């Protein structure tokens, strides 16, 4: 099998599997899924650093019940979060609405990647040197023995 | 008596650090080698101070000497001996003492290890810097964080004991000391880095000297973090192991920069590149351990404005600023000599992969740092309160994690300098197939979700790549007439074992966070419930008064087999009941039980059940990582027998002097 064909088949299987695997994500979420999704990003008011979905504390249970009630009433995620913010304050959300905290890493990351690409593209211009035949033979021999060792 | 002895010991440690620094400074200034050698004895005095202070603290704790404020606040007569001993690191002052003890130990080992080079200015400067750090921590204990302060007024008859969460599981005896061995260990490479900057000896030899120290510190920190996650899982009762809590992030940040360093340092050794970057990573790692101490110990997290109430917050912050400022100034001052002689030849090469790895780790550290301090910054700027929690960190770090897994798969296969397509094909093909077939098999077995599938595929890819490298090493060892196990030792082979540990951790993380189930069941005795194919049967409850706590345990039979006992503990001084989960650990999934509500009048309880797959592989992976670090730090055979992969065939001597001299 040719090298290109081998990698091509590999890529095909990978993309197909991932496509099938990711499709399970779609479809309208059930009530439970929506409650979980919201409770996941809402802080349990009486614990430290845990979400309302993770905690067994009564306050977390109260939030889960309230979220479920509002989901059943047909409110959107945003409406429910707005309600929770009005009730508990802005810091009830574990995903802050402030843009800065999301944008900074993305901008920084992009800058770093661009910097990396620039560094990698910048090949040092080497002084043109004449390589002797003896040297080339030496390199070829070393490469061959390396291949055998592999 | 303990107070007198302890205070004297702290004074001894502080005085010896300062005198040692002074002696070294004068010796360096005058070029007096005899003075540099005498300075070594101060290191032993510092160690004596730290050991005596620790002994005094332990004696006070064990004999319940409540005349000491620390013992009165954190000790209690009813606490079992193990937790009385661990009380030393259950609160601020004692943990500073533990820090000083570990640091003094490291400095003493360093002085002993380099005893033949005591008059070398590089070593003298490194000792001076390390003693400076020690002086800071002894100074904290002499001033704002004095563990031997006496109680004001009447001596109490008993104390409240340590925080109930810190006397619930024996892991508390191992996790903090491990973590501190990691944290504090980075002081030594940091001291050498500063010494190299000051003396101008910026070649690669200081790197080689501190390589193993860095590896040990990294290994301890890794094991400490994993133990912390395990403790969190076994004790806190919410079913998870990592909450992106600021305390956890504080330990994770230096780990990220140190991990970047242990990779990029190889580029500097091989190619004499990245000198400024490597120095910066060491400085960043050390500063982040100090910043972490500030974040977790100053009370700043409760409120931005609280930390000035205790003097320790400002003191640590000033020290942190000093470390950063001095380091940046030194790097700036030596900027010219730091210019690297080497350069990257090709974008597809080992060194380019290490560069990408460093960018990814730096980005990772940036996200974690930003998320941790963002609420503080916002509150300080405009008084708004907001939280940055797990959903933010998970979403922002997942892509970086995937990138790192991918790099981990391809980097070991890439040769230095430049890779030929033929080489890549030969080395990456079957690891790539392993990854692809893993994804296909997972999908065929009905697993869904892009995140976990990517994680499993990349983990298999990286795992196969690491196994392939080890296989090459084994074959090379056999050919060299050595036993196969010999091929596991040495830095690159040990590194591959660490990679295998990372793969296990990645799989455990992805599976447990994506395919977990949790529910609460209200059960009367004899009733059963089922979650994710596991049945739990509630049998009954027992209440027991044992020493310092009253324990209510529920008996729960899992899958018709063994009985597990999730419990609630009521401590006399604790207001809230502390739950302790009970976990059925298995190779495929854990069943995690908590007693949420104790029995009511009718005997009905609420049991929390949490079924998560592959959790145990996190702990196994952590163990493998620790073991791999040990293998990597083991003095390996020099190349070429132990290292797979082609060597740079011809180097240009005048451009890469370090390669030639090594």
CA-to-CA distance for B641 and B26, rounded, in angstroms? 47
Q: Which residue of B has its CA nearest to A107?
A: B363
Q: pLDDT at position B67, please?
A: 94
Q: How far is B159 from chain A (nearest CA, A)?
A: 26
CA-to-CA distance for B426 and B63, rounded, in angstroms? 67
Cβ neighbours of A14 in B, within 8 Å: 435-436, 439-440, 457
Domain spans, chain B: 1-162, 163-404, 405-515+624-646, 517-613
CA-to-CA distance for B340 and B362, rounded, in angstroms? 20
pLDDT-derived band at B557, boundaries 50, 70, 90 = very high
Report if residue A101 sits inside a domain. Answer: no
At B570, is the secondary structure helix, strand, or coil?
Answer: strand
Q: Which of B370, B384, B596 sits opposite A90 (nearest CB)?
A: B384
Q: pLDDT at position B648, please?
A: 40
Q: For the residues B370-395, what does the mean pLDDT come to?
A: 90
Q: Which of B239, B245, B391 sits opposite A48 (nearest CB)?
A: B245
B321: left (phi over 0), alpha (psi -120 to 50) or beta: alpha
Q: How far is B572 from chain A (nearest CA, A)?
A: 21
Express each pLDDT in B416-439 by its tens digit. 888 888 888 999 999 999 999 999
Report if residue A103 sits inside a domain. Answer: no
Q: pLDDT at position A98, please?
A: 85
Q: Which residue of B has its CA nearest to A61?
A: B520
Q: Which of A22, A51, A98 sits opposite B450 (nearest CB)?
A: A22
User: Residue B155: how many CA atoms within 13 Å on its side-chain side?
Assistant: 8
| Residue among B406, B433, B446, B453 nearest A18 (CA) | B453
Q: pLDDT at position B646, please?
A: 41
Query: Does residue B654 carry a pLDDT above 50?
Result: no
Q: How many CB atoms are located within 10 Å of the residue B337 CB?
A: 12
CA-to-CA distance for B593 and A140, rounded, in angstroms? 64
Q: Which residue of A has its CA nearest to B360?
A: A109
Report if residue A52 sits inside a domain. Answer: yes
pLDDT-wise least confident of A44-53, B13-22, B281-290, B461-470? A44-53
Q: How many CB atoms are located within 10 Å of the residue B324 CB?
A: 16
Report if residue A142 sits inside a domain. Answer: no
Report if residue A66 sits inside a domain. Answer: yes
End-to-end CA, chain A: 21
Taking CB atoms and an 8 Å limit, are B367 and A105 in contact across chains?
yes
pTM here?
A: 0.91
Q: Which residue of A has its CA nearest to B513?
A: A54
Cβ neighbours of A90 in B, within 8 Å: 384-386
Mutate to test the interface with A, among B368, B392, B520 (most CBs of A within 10 A): B392
Q: Which residue of A has its CA nearest to B429?
A: A7
CA angle B85, B89, B91 (to 5 degrees): 120
Cβ neighbours of B649 in A, within 8 Å: 139, 142-143
Q: Domain of A35: which CATH number?
A: 1.10.8.640
Taking CB atoms and an 8 Å limit, are B650 and A105 in contact across chains?
no
pLDDT-wise least confident of A21-25, B388-392, B481-485? A21-25
* Distances B138 to B88, B96, B500 between C-alpha atoms, Å: 16, 8, 40
Express each pLDDT in B100-118 by its tens digit. 999 999 999 999 999 988 8
Express each pLDDT in B630-645 by its tens digit. 999 887 554 443 333 4
pLDDT-derived band at B659, boundaries 50, 70, 90 = very low
Report if residue A119 sits inside a domain. Answer: no
Q: How many domains does chain A have?
A: 1
Query: Does residue B206 carry a pLDDT above 90?
Result: no
- Beta-bridge mates of residue A93: A42
Cβ neighbours of A150 in B, within 8 Å: 426, 472, 644
Question: What residues make up the domain containing A86?
Answer: 30-92
What torsion do the CA atoms of B172, B177, B182, B185 make, to the nearest 10 degrees? 170
For B281, residues 6+ apart whose C-beta sits below 8 A from its C-beta are B257, B258, B260, B261, B264, B358
* Distances B361 to A6, B244, B496 between C-alpha atoms, Å: 32, 17, 18
**By percentage, how much of chain B surpasses pLDDT 70?**
94
Express each pLDDT in A104-121 by its tens digit. 999 999 998 898 888 877
At B540, is the secondary structure helix, strand, or coil?
Answer: strand
CA-to-CA distance for B245 and A48, rounded, in angstroms? 8
A132: tokens are 């002797």
Q: Which of A21, A89, A139 sits opposite B447 (nearest CB)?
A: A21
User: Residue B232: how many CA atoms within 13 Å on its side-chain side?
Assistant: 22
Mutate to test the interface with B, among A15, A64, A105, A137 (most CBs of B within 10 A): A105
ipTM of the shown complex? 0.82
Q: For the residues B234-250, what does the mean pLDDT come to?
A: 90
Cβ neighbours of A22 in B, within 8 Å: 448-450, 453
Q: How far is A128 from chain B (nearest CA, A)?
A: 13
| Residue among B532, B591, B586 nearest B556 (CA) | B591
């Amino acid at each position: 099998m040719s090298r290109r064909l081998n990698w091509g088949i590999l890529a095909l299987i990978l993309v197909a599997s991932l496509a099938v695997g990711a499709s399970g994500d779609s479809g309208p979420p059930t009530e439970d899924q929506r409650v979980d999704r919201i409770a996941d990003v809402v802080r349990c008011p009486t614990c430290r650093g845990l979400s309302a979905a993770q905690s067994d504390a009564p306050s977390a249970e109260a939030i889960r019940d309230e979220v479920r009630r509002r989901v059943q009433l047909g409110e959107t995620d945003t409406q429910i979060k707005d309600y929770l913010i009005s009730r508990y304050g802005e810091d009830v959300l574990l995903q802050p609405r402030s843009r800065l905290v999301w944008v900074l890493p993305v901008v920084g990351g992009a800058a770093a990647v661009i910097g990396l690409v620039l560094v990698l593209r910048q090949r040092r211009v080497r002084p043109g040197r004449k390589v002797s035949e003896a040297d080339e033979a030496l390199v070829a021999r070393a490469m061959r023995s390396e291949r055998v060792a592999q | 008596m303990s107070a007198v002895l302890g205070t004297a010991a702290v004074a001894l440690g502080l005085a010896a650090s300062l005198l040692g620094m002074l002696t070294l400074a004068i010796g360096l200034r005058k070029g007096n080698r005899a003075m540099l050698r005498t300075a070594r004895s101060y290191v032993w005095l510092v160690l004596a101070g730290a050991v005596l202070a620790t002994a005094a603290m332990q004696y006070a704790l064990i004999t319940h000497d409540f005349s000491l404020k620390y013992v009165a606040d954190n000790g209690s007569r009813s606490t079992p001996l193990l937790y009385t001993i661990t009380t030393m690191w259950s609160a601020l002052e004692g943990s500073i003492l533990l820090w000083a003890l570990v640091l003094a130990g490291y400095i003493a080992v360093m002085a002993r290890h380099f005893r033949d080079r005591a008059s070398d200015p590089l070593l003298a400067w490194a000792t001076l810097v390390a003693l400076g750090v020690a002086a800071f921590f002894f100074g904290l204990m002499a001033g704002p964080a004095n563990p031997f302060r006496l109680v004001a007024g009447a001596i109490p008859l008993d104390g409240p004991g340590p925080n109930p969460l810190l006397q619930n599981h024996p892991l508390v005896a191992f996790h903090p000391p491990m973590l501190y061995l990691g944290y504090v260990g980075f002081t030594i490479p940091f001291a050498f880095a500063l010494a190299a900057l000051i003396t101008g000896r910026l070649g690669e030899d200081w790197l080689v000297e501190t390589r193993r120290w860095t590896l040990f510190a990294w290994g301890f920190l890794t094991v400490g973090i994993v133990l912390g996650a395990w403790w969190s899982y076994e004790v806190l009762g919410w079913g998870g192991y990592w909450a992106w809590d600021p305390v956890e992030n504080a330990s994770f940040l230096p780990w990220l920069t140190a991990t970047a360093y242990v990779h990029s340092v190889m580029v500097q050794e091989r190619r004499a590149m990245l000198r400024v970057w490597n120095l910066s990573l060491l400085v960043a790692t050390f500063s982040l351990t100090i910043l972490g101490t500030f974040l977790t110990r100053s009370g700043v997290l409760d409120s931005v404005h609280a930390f000035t109430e205790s003097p320790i917050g400002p003191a640590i912050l000033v020290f942190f600023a000093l470390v950063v400022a001095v380091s940046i100034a030194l790097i700036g001052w030596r900027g010219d000599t730091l210019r690297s002689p080497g350069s990257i030849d090709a974008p597809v090469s080992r060194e380019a992969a290490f560069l990408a790895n460093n960018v990814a780790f730096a980005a990772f550290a940036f996200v974690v740092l930003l998320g941790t301090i963002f609420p503080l910054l916002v509150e300080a700027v405009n008084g708004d309160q907001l939280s940055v929690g797990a959903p933010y960190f998970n979403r922002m770090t997942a892509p970086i994690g995937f990138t790192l897994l991918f790099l981990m798969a391809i980097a070991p296969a890439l040769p230095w300098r430049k890779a030929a397509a033929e080489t890549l094909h030969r080395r990456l093909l079957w690891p790539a197939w392993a990854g692809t077939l893993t994804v296909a098999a997972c999908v065929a077995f009905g697993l869904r979700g892009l995140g976990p599938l990517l994680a499993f595929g990349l983990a298999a890819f990286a795992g196969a790549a690491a196994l392939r490298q080890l296989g090459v090493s084994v074959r090379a060892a056999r050919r060299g007439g050595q036993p196969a196990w010999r091929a596991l030792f040495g830095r690159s082979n040990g590194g591959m074992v660490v990679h295998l540990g990372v793969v296990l951790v990645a799989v455990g993380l992805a599976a447990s966070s994506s395919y977990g189930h949790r529910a609460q069941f209200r059960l009367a005795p004899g009733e059963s419930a089922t979650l994710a194919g596991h049945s739990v049967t509630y049998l009954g409850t027992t209440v027991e008064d044992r020493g310092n706590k009253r324990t209510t345990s529920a008996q729960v039979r899992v899958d018709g087999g063994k009985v597990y006992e999730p419990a609630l503990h009521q401590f006399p001084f604790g207001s809230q009941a502390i739950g302790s989960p009970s976990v059925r650990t298995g190779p495929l999934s854990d069943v995690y039980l908590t007693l949420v509500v104790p029995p009511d009048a009718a005997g009905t309880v609420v049991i929390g059940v949490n079924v998560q797959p592959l959790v145990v592989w996190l702990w196994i992976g952590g163990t493998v990582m620790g073991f791999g670090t040990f293998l990597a730090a083991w003095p390996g055979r020099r190349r070429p027998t132990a290292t797979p992969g082609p060597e740079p065939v011809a180097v240009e001597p005048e451009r890469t002097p370090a390669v030639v001299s090594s």
